[in-house]
Chains A and B, each alone.
Chain A
Amino acid sequence: MRKWPLLLTVLLVLLYPYLLQSTYFRTIGIFIGIRAIVVIGLCLLMGYAGQASLGQAAFYALGAYTSGVLTVRYGVSPWLALPAGIILASVVAAAVGWPALKLRGHFLALATLSFGLIVYFLLKQWSFLTGGPSGLSGIPALSVAGARLRSAEYYYLVWGTVALVAWLAHNIVHSRIGRSLRAIHDSETAAECLGVDTFRLKLQLFVLSAAYAALAGTLYAHFVRFFSPAAFGFKVSIEFAIMAALGGMASIYGGVLGVATVTLLIEVLRAVVPLALPAAHAVAAVETAVFGLILVAVFIFLPDGLAGGAQQLRTRLVARRAAAAGQTKEARS
């Protein structure tokens, strides 16, 4: 009973590139997958460890730029650049997280935000390496055994990675570590009293979420094959946080749902609004306002995000069904 909806979701993800045979829809699917990897990491950090990060785009950038710079400037194989980006992001995350995670609440948010901005400005400044504000072009496409990955294959590579990353996150959440994590989220002091090394755990999760973001960044780099620091500004960090919150932070699947909802919603609005309005800036204005309204509405009515809302609905349905069953029983007796 509980298994088959998941199976259907997996089936839908698997069949998607062939249900809609167009690069456009595959690109949407790929973008959702790439962002989902970042947001799953963010959900672990924010939803389970209760630590807000507003600098996730910086780690995403580290992954993308390590891969981009190594392949373009030094001719390194993308498959070797991938682990390099993840390692670099992890090391940086550990160095930043060490002092930053001692901060609480909004001060941590401020520290991660500042870190994100430092990385962003350095990417613009170190143009001998990064290409500066003009961006980095000529990044090679990924290929396996000499054959270039086309959009459908890339889609499966990305979603295979999403599955792997989600599985890992799922295992962490449902382990002893996961229980300690939830304790940190509820009350850090209480958790510490129970002998949980909260700082160490938080740091580990911070590094893990950075590694996820870097992994996603590498996949992004070899897919779009051109990017500039503009793709990693603090607006992007905030978007990641919004996606995580919208889906429901205390759920790994909620993160994926949040990403899918935001990405698809924007594309739907872009397709529908111009049908009603002629002027270009009015179209953008209405798209923006409607998008914001939907965000606000979701947060007001489903404070635990879409996944939390779905959970509530399910509980209520089960309760109603139980009540209905009870009534029929009574009627019979």
Chain B
Amino acid sequence: MEGMASLTQFLLVGLTLGSIYALVAVGFVLVYNVTGVLNFTQGEFCMLGAMLAATFVRLGIHFLPASFLAVSIVVLAAALLERAAISSARKATPLTLIFITLGAAIVIRGVALLFFGTEPYTLPVFQNLRPLQLAGASVTWASLSALVVGVIVVLLVFLLLERTMAGKALRACMINRLAAQLMGISPQLMSLLAFVLSAAVGAVAGIIIAPITLAVYDMGLMLSLKGFIAATLGGLASAPGAIAGGLLLGVLEALGAGYIGSGYKDVAAFIVLLIVLFVRPDGLISAVRGERV
């Protein structure tokens, strides 16, 4: 019985961590498929969203308008970044573009340090609610909301891609950039759209994880790293793949910590990751679907 409760607890923690990674990974996949760029500023978008929302709440603004404001600012920053750094380097190779995003991530971190300082921030949202009890394990409202908001965000992105004209154009770009261009879809515009969309997802992710992990100016790099791993694990091809990759990574870490011991939890997670890579060299999901060539 006790073992069962522990397992439930480990899985719940794993899913909480996993939904964080999944949201970062979704942003990765969106930009990657439209522009071919692995965008390492994705984690910084989360950081900015979290820090801005926390700052606004601290200034006395209510949580919802504060979040809205934070997401808007991050979206603007992303648009600026896309125009200034990515768009003007059209001719650069994908590898160079990755380094541009790595450099841009450093710039964002510097600016964040200037405005927010080095102190960690908190985003008090659910502090007065008692955690729920579930099969002998406890779930906090913060992690529950991370899961729920994560699902909602992914659904929204899905609807946007499936049901709107802009979304269809984006999807066309994701499937075949050249053909899309021939059909009169501007790749420049789509690249901007992908960045803006992924920044919005990133900022929302940052805001919903801040009550769980707290927010600090240099959290972005770690999130980018985990998001990249999750996205690649999921095949880098689709949002569902990214989510599966994220959840898998989170659960792996939690189970590793739970059953092998916390000292080896990261070692265990990365060894499993390597084995997965070597066995399924194109990532888990695309190997199942066999979509990418």
Contacts and interface: CB of A to CB of B under 8 A. Distances in A.
A234 interface: yes
Interface residues of A, number: 43
A272 interface: no
B106 A291 contact: yes
Contact of A121 (B89, B267, B274): B267
A242 B96 CA distance: 10
B106 A292 contact: yes
Nearest to B280: A107
B282 interface: yes
Contacts of A117: 266, 270
A234 B89 contact: no
A231 interface: no
A291 B103 CA distance: 8
B270 A114 contact: yes
A289 B270 contact: no
B233 to A, nearest CB: 8
Interface stretch (B64-72, B109-117, B142-150): B109-117
B173 to A, nearest CB: 19
Contact of B88 (A106, A113, A234, A300): A300
Interface string A277-293: 00001101111111111
Interface string A118-157: 1001100100000000000000000000000000000000
Contact of A118 (B38, B91, B95, B270): B270
Contact of B273 (A114, A238, A291): A114
A287 B106 CA distance: 10
Given A106-B236, A281-B117, A303-B91, A290 B110 contact: yes
Interface residues of B, number: 46
Contacts of A295: 99, 102-103, 106
A242 B113 contact: no
Interface SS majority for chain B:
helix
Contacts of B88: 300
A288 B104 CA distance: 11
Contacts of B271: 118
Given A115-B274, A245-B99, A289 B114 contact: yes
Contacts of A246: 99
Interface in B215-271: 221, 225, 228-229, 232-233, 236, 263-264, 266-267, 270-271
A25 interface: no
Nearest to A241: B99
Contacts of B221: 235
Contacts of B102: 238, 242, 295
Contacts of B100: 296, 299-300
B109 A288 contact: yes
A287 B111 CA distance: 10
B103 A296 contact: yes
A102 B280 CA distance: 11
Interface in A237-257: 238, 241-242, 245-246
A61 B225 CA distance: 20
A118 B264 CA distance: 9
B106 A285 contact: no
B267 A118 contact: yes
Contact of B111 (A111, A114, A289): A289
Interface of B: 38, 85, 88-89, 91-93, 95-96, 99-100, 102-114, 117-118, 221, 225, 228-229, 232-233, 236, 263-264, 266-267, 270-271, 273-274, 277-278, 281-283
Given A102-B278, A289-B106, A292-B103, 10 more contacts: A107-B277, A110-B228, A113-B225, A114-B229, A121-B264, A234-B225, A286-B110, A288-B106, A295-B99, A303-B91
10 tightest A-B CB contacts, nearest first:
A289-B110, A292-B106, A288-B110, A295-B103, A292-B107, A285-B114, A285-B113, A296-B103, A303-B92, A99-B278
Interface of A: 46, 52, 99-100, 102-104, 106-107, 110-111, 113-115, 117-118, 121-122, 125, 234-235, 238, 241-242, 245-246, 281-282, 284-293, 295-296, 299-300, 303
